[in-house]
A and B are shown apart, each in its own frame.
Chain A
Amino acid sequence: MDLSAINPVLLIASLMVAATPLLLAAIGELVVEKSGVLNLGVEGMMITGAIAGFATAVESGSPLLGFVAAAIAGAALSILFAILTQFAQANQVASGLSLTLFGLGLSALLGQSYVGVKPPRMGDIHIPQLSDLPVVGPILFGHDIILYFGIALTAAVWWVLKYSRIGLVLRAVGENHDAAHALGYKVLKIRLMAIMFGGACAGLGGAYISLIRVPQWTEGMTAGIGWIALALVVFSSWKPWRALLGAYLFGGVTVVQLNLQAAGVAIPVEYLAMSPYLITIIVLVILSADKSSAPASLGRNFHASR
């Protein structure tokens, strides 16, 4: 055992990277669920974003353009879900699941010619002096711009949901769509926007995996992160900062357990392998004891005639 081999600064810096795709997807889904829609297609939208972002970045040479394309692709795929559930009144659970399957297949098809291609690298932000600070530098000032965007997005979503008028309307729609409709709010329009926002975020999360965290394209590379994001939303009691905490916990424990293994710590590896799931769930379950419940209209379809 050689714990001194673990560099805590590098560890924290890399757990932030590991957490970002999860955070982006979870924040998007959180907004969707706050509006009363349950979209189980996060994994499908993520993987579609991963290939769309990857392909665009390779063709254009610009990773940033790749992220834009990923957001658009994720949102576009989510429109399919919106049409099915909001206008055709299809079952949300079934539609979401099929969206995942569709996304996995579509991305494999689109990605055929991109296997083994190397994407252009997204540079880390380098702020003179600040980035060179010991300890704080690599943790706070040495990352790529999307990672900061994820944190900023969390703050923005929190603020909008809590303090802005649009957030209030969104929550009203999610809690009681009939009442919101009676008050004159356009339930379907608001839900459509929320679904698209969720799709765009999931797409960004997917592209973060294919362009920064891994970076390459392989089929099925999101490997279940979309599902973890879904669980994270529930366990975080639909609160943005808790979703951030959960994402960092998950990413953190994943990276820590790999570090412990490499350092030769003699804990049975199966425990280490399941620890990210376990610890994240335990902490969030404890936090969610504050009785804040799911949006009341979650998963229920709305039709103005009823």
Chain B
Amino acid sequence: MKLTNLLTSAAVALGLAAGAAWAQDKTKVGFVYVGPVGDGGWTYEHDQGRKAVEAEFGDQVETVYVENVAEGPDAERVMTQMALEGADLIFTTSFGYMDPTINVAKKFPNVKFEHATGYKRAGNVSTYSARFYEGRAVQGTIAGHMTESNVVGYIGSYPIPEVIRGINSAYIHAKKVNPDVTFKVVWAFTWFDPAKEADAAKVLIEQGADVILQHTDSTAPQAAAQAAGNVITFGQASDMAEYAPKPRVSSIIDNWAPYYIARTKAVIDGTWESVDTWDGIGPGMVGIGEISDAVPAHVKEAALAIKASIADGSYHPFTGPLKKQDGSDWLAEGEVADDGTLAGMNFYVEGLEGDIPQ
């Protein structure tokens, strides 16, 4: 015990000394992006976070980023390159970077890694994500009220827990305010392909959907909805306010800046530890974009009420009674889903049609 204490304090002292020596040097922060920084959605918001880090620390930090990095071996190459070039902290911002991040982190124990939306951690790998499903509960409420055809279209990217959670959350809350609502889910198998997203939105509209929810990163569905006329959409990841007040009637906004600043500061101060962060509307990691005038006042009120109750912790979007799609029981009356189940969610709730691709 004493020995370990001694070793720890020695290590801390060394770390401090090293930190002091390093203080002359800039802290280098790397970002690996899955899309282009100009996508107007997911990657755009991460890049806003990067800019916020630069603004906060000025000359103390140097940030680098690589955009359009394919999920797979290419990601590993990019991360290795960043680590070799002296990055102290690397944010890898897509689910598919999970294994590459872990692999590279093993090779560079002195470099800190932060993986977004994953569930594998290590001594020098933190994970962080936002509870987007909280935002989807708000959107689902609006969608359920607003749909006249009772068909809501949903463009999914990949069938991973993150996306399935969003579909379930939106569906549960749409169903709550509109028992007749049905969801049509289309999987695009891409995070970012405007042409395909536009096609998917058009198909859903042609098949009767008058509300489009998306879990892909571009604003192409908004453009398609606008061309179709009487269809509403929601901003995904970014506000996408250029399509307000209609078709975009509200949005889920990712706000990574405070987290990126805090984690960079931890590296500069030498207090960085591997943690698992999953914040939602309450702490502000998930923002709800302004609900536009196209939404009637009473619907807006209902949506804001849900948002407020989630923010203060009095309501959880996954509260029983809830059944799984196959009719088996999941949550009893009043029971709340635990984070483990949510993080690995691979099933639809009762009422959703279709199968999740395996």
**Chain A interface (Cβ < 8 Å from any Cβ of B):** 5-7, 10-11, 14, 18, 21, 108, 111-112, 115-118, 121, 209, 213-216, 218-223, 225, 254-255, 258-259, 261-264, 266, 268-270, 273
Tell whether B39 is near chain A: CB-to-CB under 8 Å: yes
Within 8 A of A (CB), among B195-218: 195-196, 198-200, 202-204, 206-208, 218
B194 pairs with A218, CB closer than 8 A: yes
B36 pairs with A263, CB closer than 8 A: no
Collect the chain B residues with CB atoms within 8 Å of residue A270's CB: 189, 357
Collect the chain A residues with CB atoms within 8 Å of residue B224's CB: 214
A220 pairs with B36, CB closer than 8 A: yes
Collect the chain B residues with CB atoms within 8 Å of residue A121's CB: 227
**Chain B interface (Cβ < 8 Å from any Cβ of A):** 35-40, 67-68, 153, 159, 184-187, 189-190, 192-196, 198-200, 202-204, 206-208, 218-220, 223-224, 226-227, 240, 242, 353-355, 357-358
B36 pairs with A219, CB closer than 8 A: yes
A255 to B202, CA, bound (A): 9
Give A258's nearest chain B residue, CB to CB.
B203
B187 pairs with A262, CB closer than 8 A: no
Known: A115-B40, A219-B36, A223-B190. 14 other contacts (CB 8 A): A5-B208, A117-B242, A118-B242, A209-B194, A219-B38, A221-B218, A223-B194, A223-B195, A255-B203, A258-B203, A259-B203, A266-B354, A266-B355, A273-B189
A225 to B196, CA, bound (A): 11
A-B contact pairs, 14 of them (CB 8 A): A108-B38, A112-B38, A116-B219, A214-B194, A216-B219, A216-B223, A223-B194, A258-B186, A261-B187, A262-B153, A263-B184, A264-B354, A270-B357, A273-B189
Minimal beta-carbon separation of A14 from chain B (angstroms): 6
Most buried by B among A213, A222, A269: A269
A262 pairs with B186, CB closer than 8 A: yes
Q: Which of A18, A115, A209, A263 contacts B207 (CB 8 A)?
A: A263
Collect the chain A residues with CB atoms within 8 Å of residue B207's CB: 5-6, 259, 262-263
Give A104's nearest chain B residue, CB to CB.
B68
Collect the chain A residues with CB atoms within 8 Å of residue B186's CB: 258, 261-262
Would you list the 5 A-B pairs with minimal beta carbon distance, nearest first? Answer: A219-B36, A269-B357, A219-B38, A116-B242, A258-B203
A124 to B309, CA, bound (A): 47
A266 to B185, CA, bound (A): 12
Collect the chain B residues with CB atoms within 8 Å of residue A7's CB: 206
Give B358's nearest chain A residue, CB to CB.
A268
Give B38's nearest chain A residue, CB to CB.
A219
A111 to B208, CA, bound (A): 34
B184 pairs with A262, CB closer than 8 A: yes
Collect the chain B residues with CB atoms within 8 Å of residue A5's CB: 207-208
A219 pairs with B39, CB closer than 8 A: yes
B223 pairs with A218, CB closer than 8 A: no
Minimal beta-carbon separation of B332 from chain A (angstroms): 30
